[in-house]
Amino acid sequence: MNGTENAMRNQVNIAAYYISQKNYTYDKLCWMLAKRQLIAQRDPKHNQEDRIKEKAAQIYFSSAPYDILCWLIAELDILMKIGKI
């Protein structure tokens, strides 16, 4: 892993920590991740509540751990912020 990747990983870890400290419900994290994934996939329906609900349900039933959801949200936030997505 090079320095840039390491710095990015550290940024994501810190952002994920702050997300976890907000004590969002598991449902809310699923919703947040679903919305970001749809935006990242450039889904033209990313703002439609039914589409987000469908994606959030998929995430919910995947039973990903709380900390992983926080990490994935943080990663997508940072990638979108720096223009990689």
Using pLDDT thresholds of 50, 70 and 90, give the confidence band for residue 1. Answer: low
Chain segment 21-74, per-residue pLDDT in tens = 999 999 999 999 999 999 999 878 778 999 999 999 999 999 999 999 999 999
Domain spans of the chain?
3-81
pLDDT of residue 47: 80
Q: Which residue has the higher pLDDT, 73 or 5?
A: 73
pLDDT at residue number 51: 93
For every residue of the chain, which 3-state class applies, written as one string?
CCHHHHHHHHHHHHHHHHHHHCCCCHHHHHHHHHHHHHHHCCCCCCCCHHHHHHHHHHHHHHCCCHHHHHHHHHHHHHHHHCCCC
